[in-house]
Amino acid sequence: MTDSFGSRLPLSRASIDRDHLSRGLGLEAVLADPAARVLVLHERRVLLAGPAQIALLDPSRVPGHELALYLGRAVDDDDELVTGAPIAALLVDEATAAALAAELEADWGDLRLLGAQLSVRDAGLFTEALALANWHTSYAFSPRTGHASIPDAAGWTRRDSVTGAELFPRTDAAIIVGITDDDDRLLLGSNALWEANRFSLLAGFVEPGESLEAAVIREVYEESGVTVVDPVYKGSQPWPFPASLMVGFRARVAPGSSTVGRPDGEEILELRWFSREELAAANAAGEIRLPGATSIARAIIDDWYGGELPDGGRW
């Protein structure tokens, strides 16, 4: 991943030592450190201290929690943390969330909307915490036995309550690709789950036993009927909605192949080719809506465009 492209990926940023060695101590021991701080999650949103700043609280200020997750240790001093300070995420119920928000006169932030505005520290913490919290929500029961599972290792594993077998967090690999033709036009599609004027790059999950490059070629053909060659890796970004790692590529239409798109009619309802001038004009006029600045999709689009597109409304 080149530095220039990597700088466009907000959720790939982080400044924390994940400190795997302390996970076995348990959260109670970690949070006993006077320098420890916690961020608070409720319904996949984080408590804010400002418009684009996560609230980091002394653990004693949070009266109770449903789940605690150890995130790691600060690697630098700043206004809120000293180097080596332990940081955890606490998931709280509705009553606790309401009480904290009222006490601090604070709002709750959505990572999808705020990711590009957060500092390196806060983007990394929120992304890590949300990804881990989503995994716990999905694995309350062992997929092997059906037995209830319980959190362990400071939130980094779950344990089968009957057999004691460990369950580890998982991440689902997905490719996303900027496709260009011989005229260097970019192919965008409108997903069936979106409003009709929303367009983005084609993407899909990697299948078992499949390479990333093979997934690019297969997914593009399945969704659009367009045959591409030479997938080139650009960069990757975690996307904890709920548990993806988005692996970004550029690819070109195969020589001699048709550029006439054939939407699959299930995931993709419309396909359009855009020159740079056409995309800029359509976006600025609000004719289409492009992915938001937090996404790797937008990073690949802006990289192809040669700069940041003027916006007519992000999502």
- The residues pairing with 245 across neighbouring beta strands, listed in sequence order, are 173, 238
pLDDT score of 315? 52
Q: What is the mean pLDDT of the segment spanning 95-102?
A: 97
Single-letter code of the amino acid located at 28: E
CATH class of 172-305: alpha beta
pLDDT score of 195? 85
pLDDT level of residue 314 (50, 70, 90 thresholds):
low
Mean of the per-residue pLDDT values of the chain: 95
Tokens 């070109």 belong to which residue? 252
Residue 208 has pLDDT above 70, yes or no: yes
Q: What is the mean pLDDT of the segment spanning 248-274?
A: 95
Residue 178 has pLDDT above 80, yes or no: yes
Q: How far apart are CA 230 and CA 100, in angstroms?
A: 52
Domain 3-138, CATH 3.40.50 — does that match?
no
pTM (global) more than 0.85:
yes
Q: How far apart are CA 147 and CA 3, in angstroms?
A: 46
Is 289 within 8 Å of 314 (Cβ atoms)? yes
Q: What is the mean pLDDT of the segment spanning 281-301?
A: 94
Low-confidence winner among 174-178, 193-197, 234-238, 305-309 (lowest mean pLDDT): 193-197
Q: How many CB atoms lie within 10 A of CB 256?
A: 6
Domain boundaries, the chain: 3-138, 172-305
Identical fold between 3-138 and 172-305: yes
Coil vs helix vs strand at 124: helix
Q: Of the candidates 208, 228, 209, which has an alpha carbon nearest to the alpha carbon of residue 218?
A: 228
Q: What is the pLDDT of residues 32-82, one digit of tens each?
A: 999 999 999 999 999 999 999 999 999 999 999 999 999 999 999 999 999
Q: How far apart are CA 104 and CA 101, in angstroms?
A: 5
Highest mean pLDDT out of 118-127, 263-272, 279-288, 303-312: 118-127
Q: How far apart are CA 241 and CA 16, in angstroms?
A: 21
pLDDT score of 312? 47
Q: How many CA atoms lie within 13 A of 10 on its CB side?
A: 20
Q: How far apart are CA 116 and CA 110, in angstroms?
A: 11
Q: What are the distances in angstroms from CA 14 to CA 17, 231, 236?
A: 9, 27, 14
